[in-house]
Amino acid sequence: MVENEYGGKFEELRNKAEEVLRDKKESGKELGLEIDELIHELEVHQIELEMQNEDLIRIQIELEDSRRDYLELYDFAPVGYFTLDENGIIKIANLTGSDILGKPRKFIIKSAFILYVAPDYRKTLHSHFHQVMKTQLKKQCDIELISPDKTPLFVTLDTMAVLDEDGTFKEFRVVVTDNSERKKAEEKIEEFNNQLQSTINAIPDLMFEVDIEGRFYDYNSPSAGDLYVQPESFLGKTVSEVLPPEAAAKIMEALKEASEKGKHRGMIYQLTLPYGEKYFELSIAKKPVPKSKSHFIGLARDITKRKIAEQRINEALKEKEMLIKEIHHRVKNNLIVMSSLLNLQADYVEDKASYEMFMESKNRARSMALIHERLYQSTDLREIDFGEYIRSLSMDLYQAYVSNPELINLDMDLEPVNVDINTAIPCGLIINELVTNALKHAFPQNRNGTVNIKFHSKDENLILEVIDDGIGFSPDIDFKNTDSLGLKLINVLTDQIDGEIDLKVDDGTEFRISFPKVKFNG
């Protein structure tokens, strides 16, 4: 019965379906169109989902790459990154951070950061964290860590507080920068600066820095007494505003030269300080630092003692010059007295040969007296113009021995050459002998003739020539080995000045004496 009941119902449902199908078949064309559109929409939607899926996959890959890049940048950053809880326990650390602490990352996680801090700096770290937590501002501090090799490891901490959504403290983010190399460099710089300051302090000179306008910027003085005015009175002012006009003008002149040539040395200026007159020698050099305006370093050395010593030496030299002049004057007078005495004594001699000996001795004394007279009158007490000396001596001898100037001529070709006293005296005696010999013996029996006297320099030597066109030197006489006092004197004196004698007797007599120049070492 039940089966028949359900069978009837299925039959009824089937009949209704077939009725609906008949209705649809009647409108089949419209139904087909709707199904095609629906299928098209489903296919488009499927493609859209596939494209979205591909984008999601691509974005996921990019996110994975970015995450990997971030982790690499985080781990291999040149600084250490740490995340600490409120008690300073390490929660997260990058590889650089573990390298700085000197332990693998897995061993430092969940350990206290303060364990890696040098004992002397743990109080500093505690205060630093407290300030960050209290102010919730980023803070920085320098501490020393305990390095694995026990060497000092100086780092800088940059710490900030991370807050929860409700504004309560959550954790610390800490960036650790290894400053060991910078610290070493700073220590070297500090050591160098200390050495430089020690060197500056050891310099006994006043040191200052000015610009091209002469404005003072800095100074270093070993003694406050070397300052013309107190520092507060001259720093920021120019030399023209601080120093007397003459000293300021000299310093500005030195600055100008230093600006053009890079440095200047040797400028001397004078200042009146509270305890007396002071002399300073100024040296200035351009400061090798690029600036919009050139700066210069100046050194002012106190040379007061040197100036006083120089003044005393100059006074002593003047006294010495006066004394030497007086000596030359007295020697000259004594030689003139001797010459006069010989002249007077000669008047009492009746023998002609003896008379001539007295007169020759008188002329020798006169030739030496003339040298001392020249030295006395000269501004240079070491040397005399020997050309002028020869002229004066020769004229004196000419007037003494030539009674008739129309018979004998005296020609002179003399170069103005300075000769020191040690050479002048023996040379003067040699000239006296040679000229006397020519005037007395070259022209007997009123014979006419000429005596030529030449004196000049050649290379490193001086050349003296006495030439006459008289009867000539007797070939039978060896002038280097003779009993004549005059010739003996010529030979001895020539050896004394390291000279050489040449004698020619063609058409008269020619004596040529060559001797080296003597340079005065004074």
Better pLDDT: 461 or 473? 461
Six-digit token pair at 302?
Answer: 């106190």
Q: Is the per-residue pLDDT at 205 higher than 60?
A: yes
Q: Does one domain contain both 356 and 387?
A: no
pLDDT 10s digits, 336-368: 667 677 677 777 777 777 777 777 777 666 666
Count how many domains the chain has.
4
- Tell me the residue range of the domain where 241 lies: 203-302
Q: Is the per-residue pLDDT at 3 higher than 50?
A: no
Six-digit token pair at 40?
Answer: 């098209």
> Is the separation of the CB atoms in 75 and 94 below 8 Å?
yes
Show which of 302, 328, 354 is a domain's final residue: 302
With respect to residue 191, please indicate whether it lies within any of the assigned structural domains: no
Q: pLDDT tier at 324 (50, 70, 90 boundaries)?
A: low
CATH of the domain at 113: 3.30.450.20
Show which of 185, 216, 232 is a domain's final residue: 185
Q: Which CA distances in Å does 330 have to 35, 327, 334, 342? A: 155, 5, 6, 18
Residue 317, pLDDT score: 72
Mean pLDDT of the residues in the chain: 79
Q: Does one domain contain both 295 and 326?
A: no
pLDDT 10s digits, 479-514: 778 777 788 888 888 998 899 999 888 888 999 999
Q: Is the per-residue pLDDT at 6 higher than 50?
A: no
Q: 418: Cβ–Cβ under 8 A, 6 or more apart, which residues?
A: 380, 383, 384, 385, 386
CATH of the domain at 487: 3.30.565.10
Q: Which CA distances in Å does 344 have to 82, 120, 337, 355, 399? A: 123, 110, 10, 11, 18
Residue 21, pLDDT score: 53
155-169, 200-214, 488-502: lowest mean pLDDT where? 200-214
Q: Does one domain contain both 362 and 264?
A: no
Q: Which CA distances in Å does 517 have to 86, 423, 499? A: 99, 9, 10
Rounded percentage of the chain residues whose pLDDT exceeds 90: 21
Residue 123, pLDDT score: 94
pLDDT 10s digits, 147-158: 877 777 899 999
353 strand-pairing partners: none
353-357, 377-381, 444-448, 472-476: lowest mean pLDDT where? 377-381
298 strand-pairing partners: 208, 284
Rounded percentage of the chain residues whose pLDDT exceeds 70: 76
With respect to residue 450, please indicate whether it lies within any of the assigned structural domains: yes
Q: Is the per-residue pLDDT at 10 higher than 50?
A: no
Six-digit token pair at 515?
Answer: 């001797």
Q: Is the per-residue pLDDT at 275 higher than 80?
A: no
